[in-house]
Amino acid sequence: MNALPTRWRLSPDSTLSRAIDGIITSPKAAIGAVVTILLVLVAVFGPWLAPQNPYDLGAIDFFDARLPPLSPSMNGSIYLLGTDGQGRDMLSAMIYGLRTSIAVGLLAGIVALVVGTALGLVAAYVGGRVDALVMRLVDLMLGLPAILVALMLLALLGQGVWKVILALVLVQWAQFARAVRAAALVERNKEYVEAAVSLGLSRPRILFGHMLPNCLPPIIVVGTLQVASAISAEATLSFLGIGLPITEPSLGLLIANGYKVLLSGQYWISVYPGLLLLVLVFSINVVGDRLREVFNPRFLGR
């Protein structure tokens, strides 16, 4: 990267193609990526794929409550994964839960990425007091356990979709800021930045047009792992009853519903949503782990 900064090297395409190469060359990561993409597609096209709309009260039948997997329903169709306490088809409820889980995790991850990246870049470029202030905040956030910060916020604010996203962003931006700052500090001293400065380009243009593309590797790695952790954290908070409200059931809330009947042996209400959550988080983590191997780990601030 110290060679002449030719146009194609600066473009994000090279980072992206390295990422894709890295994933394809590892069977484990490739499977993880395929599963992740499949699950995202299922979430996007959920309403057309689900056998039933689990939140349409006209479609569910209370007499079908708590049927084990593969039971026939009153109208002759088969509940592949059984039904829950209200007589909802588990498979359909899971598909809708997957939508909520992915949407919340992705949104929180993206907002944290934008906020953290911007702060990290500015801190590295401006330096001095701004840098010291941002890094103090980062140290403070990374010093406290994420679950404690989220608990604190939600205990004080109450539950709700936007509050959960706010809590997740609050615990995650610091990871991005630290990683991006470390990468940007290396980039700042390179010749192309000097060239951009002497050309008289504006500060935002240098930061976001020239340095940002070169800081992409750590952003991609941290982003992947943080989306997985956001999905998992949201599920945990919802399970504890302080996350998403019952009107927006995510996978975590479905599992919580199953917890109440677990001891009476109705395992399917919590086992299948949990398995889906595990497969989702595990697949994303496997991809993120591979990306960390592919890109130089020294950019990750450790």
Partner 1 sequence: MSGAAEGDDNGKTAVCARTMTVFIIRRLLQSLGVLLATSVIVFLGVFAIGNPADILIAADATQAERQAAIVALGLDRPLVEQYWIFLTNALQGDLGRSFVFNQPAIGLILARLPATLELAFIALLIALIAGIPLGLIAGLKPQSLVDETIMTGSILGFSLPNFWQGMMLIMIFSVWLGWLPAGGRGDTTQFLGVTTSLLNWDGIAHLILPATNLALFNLALVIRLTRTGVREIMPLDFIKFARAKGLTERRIVLVHVLKNIMIPVVTVVGMEFGSIIAFAVVTETIFSWPGIGKLLIDSIMLLDRPVVVSYLLVVVFMFIVINLLVDIAYSLLDPRIRLRDAQ
> What residues make contact with partner 1 under the rule CB under 8 A?
28, 140, 143-145, 147-148, 151-153, 155-157, 228, 232, 235-236, 239-242, 252, 255, 258-259, 262-263, 265, 267, 270-271, 274, 277-278, 281-282, 285-286, 289
What are the helix (H) ranges across 45-160? Answer: 46-49, 90-126, 128-143, 146-157
Question: Which residues have CB under 8 Å from 48's CB, separation 6+?
Answer: none
Smallest distance from partner 1 to CB 48, Å: 28
Of 176, 139, 195, 119, the C-alpha closest to 299 is 176
Q: CB of 240: closest distance to partner 1 in angstroms?
A: 6
Query: Would you tell me how many other CB atoms lie within 10 Å of the CB of residue 64?
Result: 20
Q: How far is the CB of 266 from partner 1 (least distance, A)?
A: 10
Q: Which is nearer to partner 1, 28 or 298 (CB)?
A: 28
CA-CA distance, 81 to 273, in Å (whole number)? 10
Our measurement of the distance from residue 37's CA atom to the centroid of its chain's CA atoms, rounded to an integer in Å, reads 13
Reported in sequence order, the residue ranges of the chain that DSSP labels E, i.e. its strands, are: 71-72, 78-79
Nearer to partner 1, 52 or 223 (CB): 223
Q: At what angle do helices 216-239 and 251-262 cross, to 10 degrees?
A: 40
Question: 24 vs 140, which CB is nearer to partner 1?
Answer: 140
Minimum gap (Å) between residue 84 Cβ and partner 1: 15
**Nearer of residues 172 and 232 to partner 1, judged by Cβ:** 232
Indicate the residue among 11 and 25 with the shorter CB distance to partner 1: 25
Contact 253, 147 (CB under 8 A): no
Q: CA torsion sign, 267 to 270 to 276 to 278?
A: negative
* In the complex, minimum distance from the CB of residue 265 to partner 1, in angstroms, rounded to a whole number: 6
The Cα–Cα gap between 187 and 195 comes to: 12
Task: Say if CB 96 and CB 222 are below 8 A apart.
Answer: no
Contacts of 203 (CB under 8 A, 6+ apart): 125
Beta carbon of residue 227, minimum distance to partner 1 (angstroms, whole number): 12
Closer residue to partner 1, CB minimum distance, 94 or 216? 94
For the bound state, the minimum distance from the C-beta of residue 277 to partner 1, rounded and expressed in Å, comes to: 6
Nearer to partner 1, 184 or 231 (CB): 231
Comparison of 83 and 285: residue with beta carbon closer to partner 1: 285
Instruction: Please report how close the Cβ of residue 11 comes to partner 1 at its closest, in angstroms.
Output: 31
Q: Quick one: which of 292, 239, 234 has its CA closest to 101?
A: 234
Asked if 289 contacts 26 with a C-beta cutoff of 8 angstroms, the reply is no
